[in-house]
Amino acid sequence: MNRTVILTSLLGSRICHDLISPLGAIGNGVELLSMSGVVAGPEISLIAESVTNANARIRFYRIAFGAAAWGQSLARPEIIDILGALAKDGRQTILWQVEGTVERPLVKLAFLCLQCLESALPWGGRITVSERDGAWLLSADSTKFRDLDGLWSVFDDPHRIHDLAPADLHFALAPIWAGDIGLQLKRSESKAGLSLAFSPA
């Protein structure tokens, strides 16, 4: 596996690990203030909502950008909980239809692909994740998709990263990670929707 990918994954894990504890402490502090009745109002609600959203995003990032090795796995309830917290804004619905416990490297790739599809759905939509006999399919449905031709060209050829912005890192990481773990990643786009699929090469 590419040493740079390993190091960046470890970096992602380290950052998420270091941030999760202080965010949890802030959340606990806000909860105690609310229970005590000393401080109340929209300001506390805003802080609590922001902490909840940040925790959800960090839990997602910890898997998408963190270290992942075969033999490590994630249970279905944990995955659904992470995705449910992430989709609380209501713009996008994510349906995780994969049954049972899943190896972490596969969840990492699925989460990176989810981010690519999320980028294409700024106005909202539905993303369905399914798996059958080792073949994964992530399909997105929406009334309107964002034009991402430049980013999809990076997805199709991750060596073209010279114009990639930090916010679009997942378009390069998804195909690189797929190759590192021996999977073939494909994209399909039509008027009816957009889908990403990966399976053993």
| pLDDT for res 137 | 97
Q: Provide CATH code, domain 72-201.
A: 3.30.565.10
**Residue 45 binned pLDDT confidence (cut-offs 50, 70, 90):** confident
> Within 13 A of 58's CA, how many CA atoms are on the CB side?
18
- Span 113-140, average pLDDT: 94
For residue 34, pLDDT over 80 is answered with no
For residue 6, pLDDT over 70 is answered with no
- Torsional sign, CA 128, 58, 46, 37: positive
Three-class SS of residue 142?
coil
Three-class SS of residue 24?
helix
| pLDDT for res 15 | 77
Contact partners, residue 114, CB within 8 Å, separation at least 6: 64, 83, 94, 127, 129, 138
Chain-centroid distance, C-alpha 25:
24
pTM: 0.85
For residue 69, pLDDT over 80 is answered with yes
**Residue 120 binned pLDDT confidence (cut-offs 50, 70, 90):** very high
pLDDT digits over 158-183, tens only? Answer: 877 777 888 898 999 999 999 999 99
Which one-letter amino acid corresponds to residue 41? G
Structural contact between residues 150 and 163, judged by C-beta atoms closer than 8 angstroms: yes
193-200 and 183-190 strand pairing = antiparallel
**Residue 1 binned pLDDT confidence (cut-offs 50, 70, 90):** low
